[in-house]
Structure 1
Amino acid sequence: MFYEDLTEYTYNAKDYFDEPEPGFRALWYRPAYTRLNVGWLEAGQPYPTGTVPAEFTAKLRAVQQVQWMNVCLGLHDCDLCPPGDEYPEGNGEIRIPGAPPIAYAAPFLITHYITAHDYRPPTEFIDAVMAVDLDAWAAAQWPEVPFPWVPEEGVEWLLE
């Protein structure tokens, strides 16, 4: 699924967070922030390439360990990998807060695109990832979620 970087995200009208394993709890809401696409790559579509700081890639991976967003039942294969190669599959997204009211919406495969296919995300996304307070996000305990802009009203819950 290809979306040009920094275009408005429109795939899901609502954002939803799932509890990392082994939970069966979730919350969803209609975001009040503007979501911008980053890293939605597809074979045959051009994308920016270049190096990124190693600290950025490490921090992005760490964010993916604590944030489970818009997880789908199906899997998306990396179609940039050559046929016959082993390739990762993704089924979710991440949200990274930028300058208010912007949040970046990236597929879970973004770290693979960066490390295996030399994708270079926009500088503002790199800066936003580096600004994430990872300690606070990792310490979030349900029903708190690792993202600062969940509204207080209009939130739907699935609690088990």
Structure 2
Amino acid sequence: MFYEDLSEYDYQDEDAFVDRESGFRALWYRPAYTRLNVGWLEAGRPYPTGTVPTVFLEKLKAVQEVQWMNVCLGVHECGLCPEGEAPEGNGEVRIPGGPGLAYAAPFLITHYIAVHGYRPPQAFVDAVLAVDLDAWASARWPDVPFPWVPDDAERMLE
């Protein structure tokens, strides 16, 4: 699935977080913020390449360890890898940007960066580096590792 970097995300109307510890508890809501696509790559489509700071990639991987977002039942294989060698992903990551803005990336984004040399927009790099990882990692249900979940989010408790 391909989307231009920084185009408006419209794949799903709602954002949903799943509790990684239980795998069953979840919350979902219609975002009040604008979501911009980052890192939705597809074979045959050009994408920006270049190096990124190691600290950025490590922090993005750490975010993915604590945030389980829009997880689907099926999986998406990396279309840039040779068949049979492609890793799979089945979710997304949300990174808060400026006021009223969040970046929406596929879970395979760290693979795209590390293996295929994808260079995300600088605004996304800066936003990842600004994440308070300690606060996100310490979030426990019913809190989730993302700051803009509305109070009226629907919750499935188990």
Q: TM-score, normalised by structure 2?
A: 0.98
Alpha-carbon deviations, 1:58-104, whole Å to 9, x = none? 000000000000000000000101234x2210000000000011100
Could you tell me how far 1:29 is from its partner in structure 2? Answer: 0.1
- Give 3-state SS (helix, strand or coil) of 1:28's partner: strand
Answer yes or no: is 1:144 the counterpart of 2:143: yes
Structure 1 stretches of at least 4 aligned residues deviating more than 3 Å after TM superposition = none
Deviation at 1:141, TM superposition (A): 0.7
Please give the secondary structure, in 1, of the residue aligned with 2:155: strand
Structure 1's unaligned 5+ residue stretches are none
Residue number in structure 2 paired with 1:157: 155
What fraction of aligned residue pairs are identical, expressed as a percent?
74
Aligned equivalent of 2:50: 50
TM-score by length of 1: 0.97
Secondary structure of 1:36's counterpart equals strand
Corresponding residue of 1:29: 29
Query: 1:7-156, aligned counterparts within 5 Å?
Result: 7-84=7-84, 86-153=85-152, 155-156=153-154
Question: Separation in 1 of the partners of 2:88 and 2:98?
Answer: 30
Task: Give the partner amino acid of 1:68.
Answer: W
Aligned length: 158
> How many angstroms apart in 2 are the aligned matches of 1:115 and 1:34?
27
Instruction: Supply the distance in 1 between the matched residues of 2:48 and 2:80 (Cα, whole angstroms).
Output: 14
1:23 & 1:77 partners in 2: Cα distance?
Answer: 22
Alpha-carbon distance in 2 for matches of 1:11, 1:27: 18
CA distance in 1, matches of 2:76, 2:42: 11
How many Å separate the matches in 1 of 2:94 and 2:26?
A: 16
Distance 1:83 1:102 in 2: 36
Shift of 1:152: 1.4
Root mean square deviation, CA, Å: 0.8
